[in-house]
Every structure is written in C-alpha cells, then in structure tokens.
A and B are shown apart, each in its own frame.
Chain A
Amino acid sequence: MRSLAAAARRWGAPLVLLAALVGLWEAAVHLLALPHYILPAPSRIARTLVTDLPLLAPHARVTAVEVVVGFAVALVAGLALGFLMFRSAVLGRALEPILVASQTIPVFAVAPLLVLWLGYGLASKVAMAALIVFFPMTVATLDGLRSADPDLVDWFRMAGARPAMVLLAVQVPAALPQVFTGMRIGATVSVIGAVIGEWVGADAGLGYLMARANAQLRVDLVFAALVVLSVFGVALVAAVRALEWALTPWRRARAAS
C-alpha cells in the first residue's frame, strides 16, 4: 500500500496535468472548429493510432531498430573514448577541444552527407543517432571518471593498491551516476537523430512516414507517429533508469536506513 501511495504521489501530478492539456486541446479543436488537416483532435489521433496500426507498425519497427542500434553503438564508443581520454592525459588534451568544436556543427547539416555516404538504408540512420548520442556519452564518462574523490584515490595508492584496483574499486563506481545521466540524455536524443536521418533520405521509418503524411495533409497520421516516437523515447529512458536502479544500490542507502 505504501508503494502504491508513493507511486500516486510521483505520477499523479504529471498524469493529471497531461490529461488536462489533452482535454484543453480537444475542446479547443471543437470550439474553434479547426480542420483536421491543420490540427486534429486527440480523439482523432487516437482513432488513427488504432486504424492505421498496420501502416504504422512496420515503420515503427524500422525506427526502433535504428534508435536502439544507434544508441548502443554510441554507448560503447562513448564509454571507450571517455575511458581512453581519462587514462591518457595526452589523448584527453588533444581530443577535448576537437570534441567540443564538433558539437557546433548542426547535425542537420551532416545528415545529407551521411545519406550520401551510407545510403538510404539502416546504416545512415544508425550513424545519425549514434553521432548525436556519442558526445554526451563521452563527456559523461570522462567527467564521471574524473569525479572520484582524490583523497579516496590517494588512500588506495598509499595502501599499495594496483592501478586496476583503484580503477575498479574507486573510479568506475564514482563515474556511474554521471554515466547514467549521459545515458538518459542519450536515450532521448537518439530518437531525434534517427528521425532526422529519415527525413533527409529514407524509404521506411516513422520519420519517412511523417514526411509523406505531411505532404498528403494526413496531419493525424503525423501526430500518431509522434506519439509512437515519444513512447520509444520514454521506454528507452525507463530502461536506463531501471539499469541505474539495479547497478547503484548504495544511492538508496540513506532512504532505507
């Protein structure tokens, strides 16, 4: 019962707010008599989600694969590069400004190039999603590893611990909270990356479907695709949170005692 009450406290307010906003939207569409090809009512979008499910599902599957593979590639690459930059001061100094500078290039500008180089298929979208997730992941890993308490690191060194033990016992656990923050940010932007890739050039996926539906004034289908996309994002963030919960039990210690 306590956990039910806690869940209600946590999710009650956002759910009520969301319901109110959707209700307001529904009312506004009817009161202002807005045509559905400008702004469809939520009820119409819900109907579209059901009736056009056979159309949405295969495109959703394509996008889901792009998002998950892109996220996974960026996760592995970001963890690896962040770690290497941490271990090698020279590499860290050399790469940090370049990495930051690379973030001033808008991803939209790169998308046509990626399609040109990697084609209309999965590869260009995975690259797109990975590119956008890679930077926050690398920075989070590097900053996280650097955040270990220097006194704690010194204690292990004085105690005669080998560097591998200092890394595994002190630096890696100290990095986890920031790594998970990086992963949560990455999980949301990976969806954006995949959809941008699909807009620029694709023959399948929710981004492709949205572009086509938009041209045909099927705005309800555009919104239906958006709903599916946000479900992807939320599901990925929830998965990251679940992993974080399982791997950092000590962060709940104070609450438990």
Chain B
Amino acid sequence: MAHAPALAVRGLAKRFGSLPVLAGVDLDVPAGSIVALLGPSGCGKTTLFHLLAGLYAPDAGTIALDGTAAGAALRGLAAYQPQKDLLLPWRTALANAAVGARLAGRSRREAERLAAEALARVGLASFERAYPAALSGGMRQRVALARALLMERGLLLLDEPFAAVDALTRLDLHALLLDLWAERRPTTLVVTHDPEEAALLADRIAVLSARPARVVAELEVDLPRPRRVGDPMLARLEGRLVALVRQARDACATEARRA
C-alpha cells in the first residue's frame, strides 16, 4: 500500500477550445481524509479528475502531492472510480478485480488470489465467475471498488461512483466504502451532486460553481462516524449544503446574464 499523500490543488484551469471548463480551482485534501466536491452535473468535475489522474495537462495551475508539484507523474498514482463502472465486459468479476492487483505489479497468480479475497470483502464471493453483463449495477460497482482497492494507491478519486444505483444500494455502498477506507485511509476525493452523499462521507466539503468551475464555499464536517441518515445534525448540514449549492448556481446565472 502506497502511503496516503496530502493533495493540494492551486489555480487549476482548463479549457477545451473556446469552452472554459475549470476557472482556477483551489482545493486541499489533507492526507488520509475524505473531501467531497459538491457541484451540479456537467460542472467540469470529470475534467478535474482527469487532470488529477494525469490523463492530460492543465492550462494553468499546479497539483501537488505532499507539497511537491506533480506533472505527468500523476499517472498511475491514483485509483480512479468513475460513474460508469468501466469493467472489462470480456472478463469475469474475478479477472476484473485482478486487473487492479496486476496494475499494482502483482504476479498473475497472486493477483487472482488477492482478487478472490477482495471480492469476498465486497460481498461477491459467489459471483467470481460472472461476467459484468450478468451483474446488477450495484454489484458492478462493488467489483470496481474491489479493483480500486487492489490497485494499492494512496490516492482514491471517486467520480459520482454511486450515481447510477438505486437509493438503498447506494447507502450499502457508502457503508462499504467507509469500511474499506477506514482500513487503510487513502486520501480520498469524491465528487457528487447529492448533498446527502457528501454529508455522509466527507470530512470536508467543497462546493463547486457551475461551469467554468471553481470552489465557491468550503466547510468542515465534524460529525462522528458512523453517520446515519435521519440524524438531525446530518439533516441540518444537508440543509446548509442545499442552500450553498443553490447560491452557487444562482450567482452563476446572474453572472451569465451580465455577460
């Protein structure tokens, strides 16, 4: 397991052609904590994750791990879990999970053994031989979680990982994610448009504006875990988050009218 670095993002900007997507994003994720990025859909969060995972370079700004600026060296440092599970359709659940261990440099044999353990950990021991097409959306996300876990990365990037599953399954997956996180405490950044998800998971929440995205508000969450849906403290936090997101959206609309 790689050690969990502190992630610091400063003034990150990116445009595609004439379309500005990120307009100077500043963000800190302390080592071993969970930060949620809360923002409307299509606000440029996937671009932010692609930059953090080193898929392409920003137009301006820096990404630093433990205080050291990282350029293209970001590739291969993060475990990235997208909304689409992105499993290989031609591989069984076991072989898909094993991909994570192979990426961590494990031998084929070892990868298979670790994958079997990880699948059992996410509650899919009896589905080792199933292809993704035969699994439900929630099960596929579990396999993707097992794969991410086996990548042994200190940095975990979750891009609306549970947006495509039903509400009850989502709660189960949240609990599972927090369990897995508590074991090794990777530095975790999770993007969501769901205030409840942000409030349930995060140590700190950053609210993003609509595109071009920047962080417009930040707040610490000092609620103890495990947090439960229906807890009045959590409900109050959610209320604040909804107000903040609405504010961010309306400010953006005003700006757009002025422009």
Q: Could you tell me which A residues sit within 8 Å of B by CB distance? A: 149, 151-152, 154-155, 157-161, 165, 169-170, 173, 176, 248-250, 253-254, 256-257
* Besides the known contacts A152-B86, A250-B91, 18 further A-B residue pairs in the complex with CB atoms under 8 A apart: A149-B86, A155-B86, A157-B55, A158-B75, A158-B76, A159-B103, A159-B151, A160-B75, A169-B91, A169-B99, A170-B88, A173-B90, A250-B131, A253-B130, A253-B133, A253-B134, A257-B130, A257-B133
**With contacts A151-B84, A250-B133, A253-B131 known, is A159 near B76, CB below 8 A?**
yes
Which residues of A are found within 8 Å of B130, using beta-carbon distances?
253, 257
Q: Would you call A250 and B80 a contact (CB within 8 A)?
A: no
Within 8 A of A (CB), among B75-103: 75-80, 82, 84, 86, 88-91, 99, 102-103
Q: Would you call B53 and A152 a contact (CB within 8 A)?
A: no
Assembly CA distance A253 to B91 (angstroms)? 10
Count chain B residues whose beta carbon lies closer than 8 angstroms to a beta carbon of A.
26
- Indicate whether B50 reaches chain A with its CB closer than 8 angstroms: yes
- Indicate whether B54 reaches chain A with its CB closer than 8 angstroms: yes
- List 10 contacting pairs A-B, 8 Å CB cutoff, sorted by A: A157-B75, A158-B76, A159-B76, A160-B75, A160-B76, A169-B99, A173-B90, A250-B89, A253-B134, A256-B134
- Measured CB to CB, the nearest residue on chain B to A154 is B55
**With contacts A154-B50, A160-B75, A160-B103 known, is A173 near B88, CB below 8 A?**
yes
Assembly CA distance A257 to B103 (angstroms)? 29
Output the least CB separation between B148 and chain A (Å). Answer: 9
Which listed residue, B82, B99, B132, B151, touches A151 by the CB 8 Å rule? B82
Q: Would you call A158 and B134 a contact (CB within 8 A)?
A: no
Q: Would you call B133 and A254 a contact (CB within 8 A)?
A: yes
Binary A-proximity of B215-256 (CB < 8 A = 1, otherwise 0) = 000000000000000000000000000000000000000000
Q: Would you call B134 and A254 a contact (CB within 8 A)?
A: yes
Q: Which of B77, B80, B82, B88: most chain A Cβ within 10 A? A: B88
Number of A-B contacts (CB under 8 A): 57
Assembly CA distance A155 to B91 (angstroms)? 16
Within 8 A of A (CB), among B14-51: 50
Which residues of B are found within 8 Å of A249, using beta-carbon distances?
131
Assembly CA distance A154 to B79 (angstroms)? 13
Which residues of B are found within 8 Å of A161, using beta-carbon distances?
103
Q: Would you call A158 and B53 a contact (CB within 8 A)?
A: yes
Assembly CA distance A165 to B90 (angstroms)? 14
Assembly CA distance A254 to B133 (angstroms)? 6
Assembly CA distance A256 to B78 (angstroms)? 35
**With contacts A159-B76, A159-B79 known, is A151 near B86, CB below 8 A?**
yes
Binary A-proximity of B89-124 (CB < 8 A = 1, otherwise 0) = 111000000010011000000000000000000000
Q: Would you call A250 and B90 a contact (CB within 8 A)?
A: yes
- Measured CB to CB, the nearest residue on chain B to A248 is B90
Which residues of A are found within 8 Å of B102, using beta-carbon distances?
165
Q: Would you call A158 and B99 a contact (CB within 8 A)?
A: no
Which residues of B are found within 8 Å of A165, using beta-carbon distances?
102
Assembly CA distance A154 to B157 (angstroms)? 14
Assembly CA distance A249 to B76 (angstroms)? 30
Q: Would you call A155 and B90 a contact (CB within 8 A)?
A: no
Q: Would you call A169 and B134 a contact (CB within 8 A)?
A: no
Which residues of B are found within 8 Å of A158, using beta-carbon distances?
50, 53-55, 75-76, 78, 80
- Measured CB to CB, the nearest residue on chain B to A253 is B131
- Measured CB to CB, the nearest residue on chain A to B147 is A159
Which residues of B are found within 8 Å of A250, using beta-carbon distances?
89-91, 131, 133
Q: Which of A157, A170, A248: most chain B Cβ within 10 A? A: A157
Q: Which of B75, B79, B151: most chain A Cβ within 10 A? A: B75
Q: Would you call A152 and B88 a contact (CB within 8 A)?
A: yes
Output the least CB separation between B2 and chain A (Å). Answer: 12
Assembly CA distance A170 to B99 (angstroms)? 11
- Measured CB to CB, the nearest residue on chain B to A157 is B55
Assembly CA distance A158 to B48 (angstroms)? 13
Assembly CA distance A257 to B132 (angstroms)? 11
Q: Which of B53, B82, B86: most chain A Cβ within 10 A? A: B86
Assembly CA distance A155 to B46 (angstroms)? 12
Which residues of A are found within 8 Å of B89, using beta-carbon distances?
250
Assembly CA distance A151 to B87 (angstroms)? 11
- Measured CB to CB, the nearest residue on chain B to A252 is B131
